[in-house]
Amino acid sequence: MAYRFDTVKNKNLLVIGLGKTGISVIKKLLDICATITGIDSNPALNVGDAFDGYRYSDRGNLKIILGKNISEGKEILRKTDLVIISPGVPESIPIIRLASKYKIPIWSELELAWRLLGVEDKDRTIAVTGTNGKTTVVNLIGKILDDSGKNCAVCGNVGLPLIDTIDTGNEYKHYQRDLIRVIEVSSFQLEWIYDFKPHISVILNITSDHIDRHETFENYVDLKLKLLANQNKNDWSIVNADDRNINEKIRTISKSRNQLPEIIKFGLQTKEGMDLFYENNRIYYRIEKSNGEINIKNILLKGKHNISNIMASVAAAVLIGIDKKSMEKTINSFKPLDHRLEYLGYIRGLRCFNDSKSTNPDATIVAINDFGKEITLIMGGKDKDMDFSELIPVLNKKVKNLILIGETSSSIYKEVMKSTCDYNVYKCDTLEAAVKKGFEVAGPGEVLMLSPACASMDMFKDYKDRGNRFKNLIFSEK
């Protein structure tokens, strides 16, 4: 493990955003950089809690600035060699524009960590992106690798920043030689990459999301495909051949580039031309010199979307060299993650599901498509300028009662009323009221589901907070 700390050694670093990622960058590099300045627009941020016991106030080369406006930006940037942006920070804020004007390098944490890795470490990277399914896939790949005896770290947007897998001393001794990094990558993280080049990339799907951040769907698609921008013929890219947006973008890229990674295709719609396909409860694969089939009849992951997720995971595992028997055992015992079509039980005569992680319309379509017209659906949340036009017809087929909450409740209600609506529609001010209404209107044996199709930050801390609140309300009805 030959890390390349010369990239930041004795540099003056500016870290924008003091969430988990920004704090990890500071703690990891404070002994290596000349100075680090950490800034956050939240004047009420509890820095002590953010550093979680780390004695940041004793460090003479660290300065923390909270709630400052752009008038201080010029002075900060005058002494800055490199800017690191946390994923939640939009590129439109004034200090970032000013740094661009001054031609100061601006990197995401993903790019920073990548430049610190040695060549051998980079050859053992799997990066997964997509609108939906990323967290399930990185966790499943990680579990497959772990169960087979491989040394791996699931990191990135999933909760452990990539930089935290890099050992600058003795704090991460459990990350030994031959570590395989399985990295969840969001569109936010891809905004400021330049050299990032995973050996294996996985692109699961691309549907409309985060338009409030990226302005157009085309921009969003372009960002997702940046994952393979630096890959070459010695790398692999695992792609969902059922996704039209992915296919069209790869065709466009292939016309302008001399080299592409080896493309591995998986899909549910056809067997023709697929490296992996699904038939009769089995996934069949033909990858490199490996041919085989995985029996998934007894999987705990439900829904066709999860068959696609499993195919992507199998492809990555085959490329790493995991044997069929080990893969099959892990796949069939892998439990659904919390807040992803999570079955809560049969409560007061209803089958209850928590799908709080569905933060865009396509994810909700996928969730409800596996049911009959028996769903009382709680939907709505933060407005991200989403297009609900493809969801509305599916509601007609699957929903008996629609209960709307959050910022988007009025706009969704208007869209629904424009359509041929053959289900009941209610608006509630709180999740508590929505759950109460759900138990009132749903029929015996039917489904009560939270699948918001929207982000959560209008009423909740995040999707986990929303899902946990929903679960508590459901369980209180037992």
Residues 6+ apart with CB under 8 A from 321: none
Share of the chain above pLDDT 90, in %: 71
- Cα distance between residue 459 and residue 450, in whole Å: 14
Architecture of domain 342-475: Alpha-Beta Complex (3.90)
Residue type, 371: F
Is residue 417 scored above 50 in pLDDT?
A: yes
Minimal CA–CA distance to 129: which of 194, 209, 195, 21?
209
Is residue 336 scored above 60 in pLDDT?
A: yes
What is the mean pLDDT of the segment spanning 142-170? 91
Query: How many CA atoms within 13 Å lie on the side-chain side of 199?
Result: 16
Is residue 215 scored above 80 in pLDDT?
A: no
Residue appearing with tokens 């929303």: 466
Is residue 133 scored above 80 in pLDDT?
A: yes
CB atoms within 10 A of CB 394: 15
Residues 108, 281 contacting (CB under 8 angstroms): no
Is residue 170 scored above 60 in pLDDT?
A: no
Phi-psi label, residue 339: left if phi above 0, alpha if psi -120 to 50, beta otherwise? left
Domain ranges of the chain: 5-104, 118-333, 342-475
Is residue 459 scored above 70 in pLDDT?
A: yes
Question: What pLDDT was estimated at residue 383?
Answer: 84
Is residue 135 scored above 80 in pLDDT?
A: yes
Q: List, for residues 382-413, the tens digit of each pLDDT value.
A: 988 888 988 999 999 999 999 999 999 999 99
Average pLDDT of the chain is: 91
What is the mean pLDDT of the segment spanning 438-448? 97
Is residue 178 scored above 70 in pLDDT?
A: yes
For the stretch 280-288, contacts whose Cβ atoms lie closer than 8 Å and that sit 24 or more positions apart, written own/partner, are 283/307, 283/310, 283/311, 283/314, 285/311, 285/314, 285/315, 285/318, 287/315, 287/318, 287/319, 288/318, 288/319
What is the mean pLDDT of the segment spanning 129-158? 95
Most confident of 2-6, 342-346, 401-405, 410-414: 401-405
One of 3.40.190.10, 3.40.1190.10, 3.30.2350.10, 3.40.30.10 is the CATH number of 118-333, namely: 3.40.1190.10
- Cα distance between residue 39 and residue 79, in whole Å: 14
Share of the chain above pLDDT 70, in %: 94
Q: How far is CA 369 from the centre of its chain?
A: 22
Q: Regarding the domain delimited by 5-104, which CATH topology (the fold level of the hierarchy) does it fall under?
A: Rossmann fold (3.40.50)
Q: List, for residues 269-283, the tens digit of each pLDDT value.
A: 999 999 999 999 999
Q: List, for residues 295-311, the tens digit of each pLDDT value.
A: 999 999 988 999 999 99
Question: What pLDDT was estimated at residue 172?
Answer: 46
Is residue 325 scored above 60 in pLDDT?
A: yes
Residue 112 binned pLDDT confidence (cut-offs 50, 70, 90): very high
Output the pTM of the full model.
Answer: 0.86
Q: List, for residues 84-107, the tens digit of each pLDDT value.
A: 999 888 888 889 999 999 999 999
Question: What pLDDT was estimated at residue 209?
Answer: 60
The Cα-based distances of 359 to 1, 89, 215, 246, 422 in angstroms read: 38, 19, 17, 20, 24
Least reliable range by pLDDT among 121-125, 143-147, 166-170: 166-170
What is the mean pLDDT of the segment spanning 369-373? 90
Is residue 173 scored above 50 in pLDDT?
A: no
